[in-house]
Amino acid sequence: MVTTSPAEGRPSAVGRRRRTPAKRQRAEDVTPEERAEPQGSAEPGLQLRAPVKKSKAPPVGRVAGRLSSSGGCQPMHPLELRVFRDYGQSWYRFRKEREGKFHPLDPLARQPQVTAEARCKLISWLIPVHKHFGFSFESLCLAVNTLDRFLTTTPVAADCFQLLGVTTLFIACKQVEVHPPKVKQLLALCCDTFSHQQLCNLECIILNKLRFNLAAPTINFFLEYFTYVRMEACEADAWEANNAKALAKGVAELSLADYAFNKYMPSLLAVCCLGLADQMLHHQRPLDLHLSDYSEEILQDCLDKLHLLVSLNEDSLPLVLPPEISEQCLHVDK
């Protein structure tokens, strides 16, 4: 079945270095057919039909530039670099120490109705939803972590699983977004299947069950951290580092939706997503994955699975990437 398809020509993952000058491959190198899809998604904000209930709240959904910022390749601001220099190491140590504590163990094991497939469907839906609002990748990561940890505590009926999804997104946004969504907007997203009271009640239940332990370390943080480490290395190529980060974010989004990746820690997923991105973009100076302190075996296992995921999702990946990145990487693995 599907599993078998990507095997051919899969590179040995760690430390593969291609010398091909594929870097800076531009649109001219791609046939029109190949281009069609990523270009169609170039300006996501402009294609949105009637925004949810025309709220006065942040019009982010309509600002195309904002949308791409969640997955885009912004260079790191000098101030960020300076602060990373002061604190990056301790941030990393602290988050790495805590990620185990926040790691949901087999959240679907005791769920009578929620399946891996339903979870995949829900998160596949949350991905465009969070982009529609212009929320950060950090919010999505937090939402999925809250969702999974809640699932370890409480059996959830299939027909309120979507409500759980928007409620965890709601909580995540309250943690990190300047303008969290309105309850009304979230209810509209679910075609007004649920009531205001239901959403607020579920919010209380989640907060109670998780005892307000919400500040989980995220893949997003580790992507930023490893990118910073790479920029600081003397041979850094900022262009490569930023592109790898943007592609890795897209791959990481896909991995959130696949329950098979639930067992991997965020730091491992982050470093492997970057490693895979470097391979796909044929970078000359890829990230040294051993910075992460994971063994070769563990890294390779995770990389292989990510590779499989990416080849299964060739259609979806461009949708979660900034257009310039998807142009570059879309077909390199074929």
Q: Which of residues 38-67 bind another protein (CB under 8 A)?
A: 40-41, 44, 47-52, 61
Of 247, 239, 258, 240, nearest to 223 by C-alpha is 247
Stretch that binds another protein, among 10-18, 290-298, 305-313, 324-332 (CB under 8 A): 305-313
Out of 151, 302, 308, 325, which residue is the one contacting another protein (CB under 8 A)?
308
Distance CA 243, CA 251 (A): 12
Is residue 170 within the footprint of another protein (CB under 8 A)? yes
**Total residues at interface with another protein (CB under 8 A):** 117
Give the DSSP letter of residue 2: G
Rank residues 23 and 301 by Cβ distance to another protein and give the closer one.
Answer: 301
- Measured from the CB atom, is 115 or 284 closer to another protein? 115
Q: Which of residues 94-113 bind another protein (CB under 8 A)?
A: 94-95, 98, 106, 108-109, 113
211: left (phi over 0), alpha (psi -120 to 50) or beta: left
Task: Specify whether the CB–CB gap between 145 and 176 falls below 8 A.
Answer: no
Shortest reach from residue 95's CB to another protein, in Å? 7
Cα gap 297→280, rounded to integer Å: 20
Closest CA to 92 of 194, 249, 217: 217
- Residue 90: count of CB within 10 angstroms of its CB: 9
CA-nearest of 243, 248, 311 to 283 is: 243
Nearest distance, CB of residue 11 and another protein, angstroms: 17
CB of 156 within 8 A of CB of 111?
yes
Comparison of 13 and 319: residue with beta carbon closer to another protein: 319
CB of 102 or CB of 294, closer to another protein: 102
Site residues (CB under 8 A) for another protein, limited to 271-300: none
Residue ranges of alpha helices (H) inside 71-112 are: 78-99
Q: Which is nearer to another protein, 205 or 332 (CB)?
A: 205
Binding mask 315-334 for another protein (x = CB under 8 A): xx--xx--------------
- Quick one: which of 10, 182, 285, 331 contacts another protein (CB under 8 A)? 182
Looking only at residues 183 through 202 of this chain, which bind another protein when binding is defined by CB under 8 A? Answer: 183, 189-191, 193-195, 197-202
Per CB under 8 A, 209 contacts another protein: yes
Q: Which residues contact 228 (CB under 8 A, 6 or more apart)?
A: 76, 80, 81, 84, 88
* Number of neighbours of residue 158 by Cβ within 10 angstroms: 12
Residue of 99, 140, 147, 224 interacting with another protein (CB under 8 A): 224
Residues 143-162, interacting with another protein (CB under 8 A): 154-162
Q: Which stretch binds another protein (CB under 8 A): 11-19, 70-78, 271-279, 324-332?
A: 70-78
Minimal distance, residue 320 CB to another protein, in Å: 6
User: Nearer to another protein by C-beta: 191 or 234?
Assistant: 191
For position 267 contacting another protein by CB under 8 A, the verdict is: no
Question: Is there a contact between 160 and 194 (Cβ–Cβ < 8 Å)?
Answer: yes
- Nearest-approach distance from CB 90 to another protein, in angstroms: 4
Cβ contacts of residue 58 below 8 Å, gap of 6+? 133, 134, 178, 179
- Binding to another protein by residue 207, rule CB under 8 A? yes
- For residues 312 and 251, the answer to whether their CB atoms sit within 8 Å is no
The reply to whether 19 sits near another protein by the rule CB under 8 A is no
To the nearest whole angstrom, how small is the minimum distance from the Cβ of residue 139 to another protein? Answer: 9
In the block, which residue shows the tokens 């912004």?
A: 74
- State whether residue 291 is helix, strand or coil: helix
